[in-house]
């Protein structure tokens, strides 16, 4: 069993608290991503799991065994470093079998493993090259191969694709998913790129300034962001945030926002009555703001708002539009390219009340998702 | 037009030579100190006091000298034993402080202090410490201090026997110069990406394996620098054997001895010994480079 439990874990650099009482549970064979902006402590947490940094508080269990004080050499954890950390003086082959040699594995078994991993990662023919004689993508695969041959309980990957160009990164992402399916290892993957996290992971741990914001499946993170940070970090482009108040008008519950009255869907109205009079921040994804002209029927939960188009970024099938509401608040949304809008025009959009996420402006928590 | 160029050919040439003027001091240095000095050394070595030139008489005199043969063997041993010792000592010190820790810069400075003490002072201190009667070392070994057991009954005349006198000189030499080796090796170790050590750790490598498979192969260039530079220094060593092993010559002290001691009668022989020393250094550099290459192949199983 190779499940991983992190309980109340802490890390300090001097007085600087880098990881703050973080809890995380990762099932055996699961692909989990640590996602967060640069400097939020992802690498530090990964290094603590690997045994390369001391744990200053809390507990770490690997496969049911408390691992706080097990040295890195004995943790049965393999890590792929952001820089790949390939040994520059060893051939690809010797890099890959280094760990097996250290363990004193028989030559025969070593070659069996090598014969398994080289085709798995498409490295045949490169065995005798030095790291400086292969491309970035190949180095990344050597680093992965070197980790996989160790047959670790847990595989840690620290932004392994960040040094690759876009095309190569997409290939590597698919490959990594395929490898995970084939070997079924527990994988903890670190990235600051939400698209990478959304594509590959079974669950995503969104980190911010050393603590956990939300731990959920990609779908749940997208549909039910627990905090404003999650809503902003997940999804591209980022969500729009519009301040407002929950009010009862003529017996109907509405959101009185800075851009006008916004409808809320029926299903949430009853619950929200408890919140009437409270200030909130409405989080609305660019994908949930729709040009009125493209929608023929109107739902009860839709609100009409007008805005001025300022900038259009063409993405082929759709465009990313930057605009401004009448009160001057900026807004981002996506629009199909065959619809009728242009720069400096005024357009009417629909905002679907079912897609409005409501956050407490103080705690920045979603007031509906507990 | 063509005539313009023909009118000032020297000016055009001057313009192309002018950018080379900053090299003049270096050229002056090379000509004076290499060419002039070396050729005068060659002239002295192959001439005699009576003015014969060229002649192998001086060389014959030197090779016939007992002192020369002994000094040559002693110097060879001094280099062969001293250079690796200094390398090992420097590597040990570098390994102690290559990782950042509290007060590391202070410890590093402490390690460098011996270099700041003039060799003459260090040699004189060792002279006193290894004195035959009342010397600190004899007192320690005779059990006069609580921290060391009683191992010898009578005081040893350290400077009175060839092997021990030259050993003491070697200790002094290494003690004074080891910071240089340490700094060269430290530079080599610190140039290694620390993530390589982390990677080795996660792959199960302990301290010794990390040293053997990661550090050692990657500091071969630093090791060769140490071996080459320090072996040259060992060949040329003068002050420690001069103070501590006065009667037992190395080539470096023999030159001085021949030149000064016998009323200037052996000026030409002294020059020839100096020439032999230069030759030894050239040969030993070649040998060390060859050895380093073998070691490089041994420790870095590249393919
Ligand atoms: N060795 C260190 N000493 C002091 N502070 C550090 C050290 N390593 C990382 N930090 C700090 O810890 C925080 C988290 O760093 P890191 O885990 O590398 O973030 P991430 O990988 O998410 O970009 C950063 O603020 C960084 O400055
Ligand atoms: Mg990082």
The whole-number average pLDDT for the span B255-271 is 86
A284 and A319 assigned to the same domain: yes
Chain-chain contact of B303 with A73 (C-beta, under 8 angstroms): no
H or E element at residue A175: helix A166-183
Question: Cα–Cα distance between A185 and B153 in angstroms, integer?
Answer: 69
Residues 6+ apart with CB under 8 A from A82: A43, A158, A159, A160, A162, A163
B218 in contact with A, Cβ within 8 Å: yes
Q: In the predicted model, what is the mean pLDDT of residues A310-320?
A: 90
Give residue A1's pLDDT band: very low, low, confident or very high (50, 70, 90): low
3-state SS string over chain B? CHHHHHHCHHHHHHHHHHHHHHHHHHHHHHHHHHHHHHHHHHHHHCCCCCCCCCCCHHHHHHHHCHHHHHHHHHHHHHHHHHHHHHHHHHHHHHHHHCCCCCCHHHHHHHHHHHHHCCHHHHHHHHHHHCCCCCCHHHHHHCCCCCCCCCCCCCCCCHHHCHHHHHHHHHHHHHHHHHHHHHHHHHHHHHCCCHHHHHHHHHCCCCHHHHHHHHHHHHCHHHHHHHHHHHHHHHHHCCHHHHHHCCCCCCHHHHHHHHHHCCCCCCHHHHHHHHHHHHHHHHHHHHHHHHHHHHHHHHHCCCC
Spatial neighbors of A17 by CB under 8 A, at least 6 apart, are: A10, A11, A210
Element (H, E) at A342: none
Within 10 A of A319 (CB to CB), how many other CB atoms are there? Answer: 18
Residue B2 has pLDDT above 80, yes or no: no
A216 & A251 share domain = no
A185 and A262 both lie in a single domain:
no
Cα separation of A87 and B295, whole Å?
Answer: 18
Is the pLDDT reported for residue A137 higher than 60?
A: yes
Task: Find out whether the beta carbon of A201 lies less than 6 Å from any atom of ligand 1.
Answer: no
Helix-then-strand count for chain A, H and E: 9, 20
Ligand nearest to the CA of A39: 1
| Averaged pLDDT of chain A | 93
User: Are the CB atoms for A129 and B303 separated by under 8 Å?
Assistant: no
Angle between helices B267-299 and B66-97 (to 10 degrees): 40
Residue A338: inside a domain, yes or no?
Answer: yes
- Say yes or no: A128 and A27 in one domain: yes
CA separation for the pair A320, B82 (Å, rounded): 73
In A40-89, alpha helices (H) = 42-50
Q: Domain check: are A215 and A244 in the same one?
A: no
From ligand 2's centre to the CA of A45, what distance in Å? Answer: 9
Kindly state if the Cβ of A39 falls inside 6 Å of ligand 1: yes
Choosing from A206, A233, A260, the residue where a domain stops is A233
Q: Is the peptide bond before A248 cis (omega within 30 degrees of 0)?
A: no
Same domain, A39 and A180: yes
Which one has a higher pLDDT value, A318 or B8?
A318
| Interface residue of A73, A83, A144 to substitute, partner B, most B CBs within 10 Å | A73
Among candidate residues A24, A30, A20, A28, the one with its CA nearest the CA of residue A6:
A24
Question: Does A254 lie in the same domain as A195?
Answer: no
User: Residues A280-308: what's their mean pLDDT?
Assistant: 90
**Hey, which of A237-251, A260-274, A285-299 has the most confident mean pLDDT?**
A237-251
Q: Which residues of A touch B203 (CB under 8 A)?
A: 78, 98-99, 102, 146, 150
Report the distance separating Cα A99 and Cα A116, nearest Å: 16
Q: What is the per-residue pLDDT across B68-101, written as a single tens digit (0 to 9) for each? A: 999 999 999 999 999 999 999 999 999 999 988 8
Q: Would you tell me which residues 169-208 of chain B have a C-beta closer than 8 angstroms to some C-beta of chain A? A: 193, 195-196, 198-206
What's the CA-to-centroid distance between B101 and ligand 1, angstroms? 18
Which of A23, A90, A86, A18 shows the shortest CA–CA distance to A47? A18
Please tell me the distance between residue A17's alpha carbon and the centre of ligand 1 in angstroms. Answer: 10
Residue A33 Cα to ligand 1 midpoint, Å, equals 18
Secondary structure in 3-state letters for B15-65: HHHHHHHHHHHHHHHHHHHHHHHHHHHHHHHCCCCCCCCCCCHHHHHHHHC
Task: Say which of A74, A83, A89 has its CB closest to residue B195.
Answer: A83
Is residue A44 lining ligand 1, measured as CB closer than 6 Å?
yes
**What DSSP state is assigned to residue A252?**
E
Describe the crossing of helices A107-120 and A92-102 by its angle, rounded to 10 degrees.
130
Q: Which of A75, A88, A91 sits opposite B303 (nearest CB)?
A: A91
Confidence of residue B169 (pLDDT cuts 50, 70, 90): very high
Is B234 a residue whose pLDDT tops 70? yes
Regarding whether A339 and A193 lie in a shared domain, the answer is no
CB B89 within 8 A of CB B170: no
The answer to whether A230 and A217 have CB atoms below 8 angstroms apart is no
Percent of chain B with pLDDT over 70: 95
- Whether ligand 1 lies within 6 angstroms of the CB of A43 is answered as yes
Residues A67-85 as b or e (16 or more Cβ within 10 Å = b): beeeebbebbbbbbbbebb
Q: Is residue A369 assigned to a domain? A: no
CB of A78 within 8 Å of any CB in chain B?
yes
| Structure tokens belonging to residue B83 | 């250079």
Residue A108 counted as domain residue? yes
Chain B residues with CB-CB distance to A89 below 8 A: 217-218, 300, 302
HSE-up of residue A223 (Cα within 13 Å, Cβ side): 5
Q: Of A302, A15, A45, whose CA–CA distance to A157 is shortest?
A: A45
User: Chain centroid to CA A70: how far?
Assistant: 29
Look up the domain containing A116 and give its range.
Answer: 4-233
Quick check: is A365 in a domain?
no
Residues A145 and A204 in one domain: yes
Whether cis (ω within 30° of 0) applies to the bond prior to A244 is no
Tell me, what's the pLDDT at B9? 60
* Whether residues A250 and A336 fall in one domain: yes
- Looking at A174, A203, A233, which one is the last position of a domain? A233
Which residue lies with its CA nearest to atom 21 of ligand 1?
Answer: A43
Question: Is the per-residue pLDDT at B274 higher than 90?
Answer: yes
Tens digits of per-residue pLDDT, A210-237? 999 999 999 999 999 999 999 999 998 9
Residue at A364 is within a domain: no
- Over residues A145-176, the pLDDT tens digits come to 999 999 999 999 999 998 888 888 888 899 89
Q: Residue A72: list chain B partners with CB under 8 A.
A: 198, 201-202
Asked whether the beta carbons of B251 and B259 are under 8 A apart, the reply is no
Closest Cα in chain B, distance from residue A360 (Å): 43
Res. B241 pLDDT band, cuts 50 70 90: very high
For residue A304, give the CATH number of its domain: 2.40.50.140
Q: For position A81, which CATH number holds?
A: 3.40.50.300
- pLDDT over 70 (residue A2): yes
Q: For B214, which residue in chain A has the nearest alpha carbon?
A: A87
pLDDT score, position B178: 96
Segment B119-124 shows an average pLDDT of: 93
Check pocket membership of A13 for ligand 1, CB cut-off 6 A.
Answer: yes
pLDDT in tens, B278-298: 999 999 999 989 988 888 888
Q: Is the CB of A40 under 6 A from ligand 1?
A: yes
Distance CA B151, CA B158 (A): 15
Mean pLDDT (chain B, rounded): 89
The strand pairing partners of A59, in sequence order, are A7
Sign of the four-CA dihedral B106, B111, B115, B117:
positive
Q: Is A38 in the pocket of ligand 1 (CB under 6 A)?
A: yes
Residue A331 resides in a domain: yes
Tell me what percent of the residues of chain A surpass a pLDDT of 70.
99
Q: Is A270 part of any domain?
A: yes
The answer to whether B107 contacts chain A (CB < 8 Å) is: no
Q: How many domains does chain A have?
A: 2
List domains and CATH numbers for chain B.
66-302 (1.10.3720.10)
A128 CA distance to ligand 2 centroid (A)? 31
Share of chain B above pLDDT 90, in %: 64
Domain stops at, among A191, A207, A233: A233
Q: What is the pLDDT of residues B19-65, one digit of tens each?
A: 788 888 888 888 888 889 889 999 999 999 888 888 999 999 999 99
Same-domain pairing of A214 and A252 = no
- The verdict on a CB contact (< 8 Å) between A89 and B302 is yes
Report residue B39 as tokens.
């050729």
Q: Are residues A182 and A297 in the same domain?
A: no
Query: What's the residue count for chain B?
Result: 303
ipTM for this prediction = 0.87
Does an H or E element contain A88, and which? none
- CA-CA distance, A132 to A126, in Å (whole number)? 12
Task: Tell me if A150 is assigned to some domain.
Answer: yes
Quick one: closest CA in A to B303, which residue?
A: A91
């Amino acid at each position: 069993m190779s499940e991983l439990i992190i309980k109340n874990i802490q890390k300090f650099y001097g007085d600087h608290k880098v990881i703050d009482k973080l809890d995380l549970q990762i099932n055996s064979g699961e692909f989990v991503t640590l996602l967060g902006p640069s400097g939020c402590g992802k690498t530090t947490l990964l290094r603590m799991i690997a045994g390369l940094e001391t744990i200053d508080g809390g507990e770490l269990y690997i496969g049911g065994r408390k691992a706080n004080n097990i040295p890195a050499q004995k943790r049965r954890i393999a890590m792929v470093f952001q820089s790949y950390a390939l040994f520059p003086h060893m051939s690809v082959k010797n890099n890959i079998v280094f760990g097996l040699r250290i363990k004193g594995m028989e030559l025969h078994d070593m070659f069996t493993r090598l014969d398994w991993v080289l085709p798995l990662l498409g490295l045949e023919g490169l065995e005798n090259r030095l790291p400086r004689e292969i491309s970035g993508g190949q180095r990344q695969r050597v680093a992965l191969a070197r980790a996989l041959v160790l047959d670790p309980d847990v595989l840690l990957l620290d932004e392994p694709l960040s040094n690759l160009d876009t095309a190569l990164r997409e290939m590597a992402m698919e490959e990594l998913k395929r490898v995970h399916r084939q070997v079924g290892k527990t994988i903890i993957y670190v990235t600051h790129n939400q698209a990478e996290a959304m594509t590959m992971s079974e669950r995503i741990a969104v980190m911010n300034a050393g603590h956990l914001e939300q731990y959920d499946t990609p779908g749940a993170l997208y549909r039910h962001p627990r905090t404003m940070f999650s809503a902003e970090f997940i999804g591209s482009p980022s969500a729009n945030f519009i301040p407002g108040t929950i009010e009862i008008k003529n017996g109907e519950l509405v959101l009185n926002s800075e851009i006008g009255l916004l409808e809320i869907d029926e299903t949430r109205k009853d619950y929200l009555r408890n919140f009437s009079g409270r200030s909130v921040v409405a989080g609305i994804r660019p994908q949930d703001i729709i040009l009125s002209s493209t929608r023929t029927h109107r739902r009860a939960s839709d609100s009409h708002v007008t805005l001025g188009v300022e900038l259009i970024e063409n993405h082929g099938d759709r465009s990313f539009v930057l605009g401004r509401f009448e009160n001057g608040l900026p807004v981002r949304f996506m629009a199909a390219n065959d619809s009728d809008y242009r720069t400096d025009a005024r357009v009417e959009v629909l905002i679907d009340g079912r897609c409005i996420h409501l956050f407490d402006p103080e705690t920045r928590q979603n007031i509906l998702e507990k | 037009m063509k005539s313009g160029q023909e009118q000032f050919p020297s000016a055009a040439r001057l313009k192309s030579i002018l950018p080379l003027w900053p090299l003049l001091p270096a050229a002056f240095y090379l000509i004076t100190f290499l060419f002039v000095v070396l050729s005068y050394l060659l002239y002295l070595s192959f001439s005699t006091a009576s003015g014969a030139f060229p002649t192998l008489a001086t060389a014959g005199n030197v090779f016939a000298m007992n002192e020369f043969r002994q000094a040559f063997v002693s110097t060879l041993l001094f280099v062969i034993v001293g250079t690796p010792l200094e390398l090992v000592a420097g590597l040990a010190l570098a390994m102690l402080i290559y990782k950042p820790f509290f007060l590391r810069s202070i410890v590093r400075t402490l390690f460098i202090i011996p270099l700041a003490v003039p060799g003459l002072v260090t040699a004189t201190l060792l002279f006193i410490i290894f004195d035959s009667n009342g010397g600190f070392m004899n007192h320690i070994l005779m059990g006069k201090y609580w921290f060391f057991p009683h191992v010898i009954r009578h005081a040893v005349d350290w400077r009175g026997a060839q092997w021990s006198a030259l050993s003491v000189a070697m200790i002094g030499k290494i003690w004074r110069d080891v910071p240089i080796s340490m700094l060269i090796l430290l530079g080599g170790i610190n140039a290694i990406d620390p993530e390589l050590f982390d990677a080795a750790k996660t792959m199960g490598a302990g301290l010794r394996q990390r040293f053997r498979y990661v550090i050692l192969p990657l500091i071969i260039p630093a090791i060769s620098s140490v071996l080459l530079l320090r072996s040259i220094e060992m060949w040329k060593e003068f002050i420690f054997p001069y103070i501590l092993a006065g009667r037992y010559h190395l080539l470096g002290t023999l030159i001085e001895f021949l030149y000064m001691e016998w009323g200037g009668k052996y000026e030409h022989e002294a020059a020839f010994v100096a020439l032999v020393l230069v030759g030894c250094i050239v040969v030993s550099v070649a040998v060390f480079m060859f050895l380093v290459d073998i070691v490089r192949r041994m420790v870095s199983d590249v393919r």
